[in-house]
Amino acid sequence: MKLLIKNAAKIMMFLLATLVITGGATSCKSKKKLAREKAAAEYTMKVEQSKKDLTAMLNGTTTWTLDEQDTRLNTIKSYNIDDAEVIDLISKVETKISKDRAEEERKAEEERLRLEEENRIKNTESKYQTIDNKLNTIAISSSTEAANNQIKTILTEFATPDVPVLIIISNAGGFNDYDRPTTISKFLNYLKDKQQYNYKVDMVKRDTLGKIIELELIKK
Amino acid sequence: MKFSYFWIVVIILGLSFSANAQDELSSERKQAVDSLAIEKVRDLSKYISIVGSKETPWSEANRVIDRAEELFMSGSEIGVSSITKAEISYYSVRKYFERLMRLNYKKVEIEWYNIEYMSDLQKQPDGTYVGVITIFQKFKGYDAEGRLVYQDTTKKDITVYVKRKETQIGGRLIGFWDVLLGDMRVKETSK
């Protein structure tokens, strides 16, 4: 009886130890499984999110800037997702971003050139505005006598009364088409007769004394 | 040597192509030339009213006659009609303006309107563009008491010649369109 009790205690101890060992092993196994499942779920989510973002970038429905799109694309690429659809989308988005970037650069260059031209015109306008105003004064003179006095004053700014005046009637197709050249004296009298100044000074050439030796106008 | 000749021929062909390209008119350039010709007719209209006006000083009128003459091809004639006479008289440009200056009215009003192309500028084999511009002229003559003693409306056709020419200015070769007016023919006269 004593022996039976002693053996039973041993058996119990053995069973308990087996239970503990088996139980611990089973618990470790399920944790790994859970971790694997969690990782798989995260991966799937990453793939789905990547597809969503890439599609939005491709369709142009995102509000991200090109730089932000570039950053997001690089992040997605760093995932090394092994999915045919994602790989195809990455390639398409890469092409689209580089196209958009080229378009953005083209627009920026166009804008720069437009501003440059605007400034050039503004500078030219202000540069020749005084001459334009003086020529206009002749056209709007109240009488022949007033116009003649104005002509006398303006002529002092020219080297001679025979200084050539060129009038551009069209600059289409890269050619300057001119009217028959005239002289400043005839042109000033023409303004007096016509009582209209429908031109804009386009170019002025001066001699070393600052007197005008050639005047080029463009018809408005 | 053969190589040099080749390049000379290529350069000559290139230059002649460039010259031709400048003579050929795109619709935009043609429009500018059309407007230029109309503008010359408007200039003539202005000169006629200045010379016709009794308020214009003699020296001014003579200067304007010189400018008006420059608008025409040499030998051009201007037709003059009247509602009191059946025949139409033709005068040289200078003679026409001199007669206009001496008209026996105290005050003269001359107005041109409906200035437009009757036939568009057409390129001729020699490169000159020729067209016809029609104008309507309203003439009014007043006596010393300010009474309207004569008035008529005349329809006139003016032939226009436009040719591309070149000239050197300040060392630059300038290509310009030379617009010259030809005969001005009376088509209709009414009261």
Q: Is A95 on the interface with B (CB under 8 A)?
A: no
Kindly determine whether residue A193 and residue B67, on different chains, have CB atoms separated by under 8 Å: yes
Chain B residues with CB-CB distance to A178 below 8 A: 174-177
Residue A121 is predicted with a pLDDT of 75
Q: List pLDDT tens digits, range A101-126.
A: 999 999 999 999 999 888 877 776 67
Measured CA distances, B119 to A52, A89, B154 (Å) = 67, 64, 19
**Crossing angle for the helix pair A184-194 and A144-155, nearest 10 degrees?**
150
Residue A1 is predicted with a pLDDT of 59
| pTM listed for this prediction | 0.68
Q: Does domain B25-190 have CATH number 3.10.450.50?
A: yes
- The residue written with tokens 């002289």 in the block is A183
Kindly determine whether residue A178 and residue B175, on different chains, have CB atoms separated by under 8 Å: yes
Chain B residues with CB-CB distance to A176 below 8 A: 175
- DSSP for B31-75, written as a single string: HHHHHHHHHHHHHHHHHHHHHH-TTS-HHHHHHHHHHHHHHBPTT
Phi, psi of A209 (to 5 degrees): -90, 0
Kindly determine whether residue B46 and residue A194, on different chains, have CB atoms separated by under 8 Å: yes
Q: List pLDDT tens digits, range B80-96.
A: 999 999 999 999 999 99
Q: List pLDDT tens digits, range B54-89.
A: 999 999 999 999 999 999 999 999 999 999 999 999
Domain ranges of chain A: 64-220
- How many angstroms separate the CA of residue A121 from the nearest CA in chain B? 22
d(CA A218, CA A207): 22
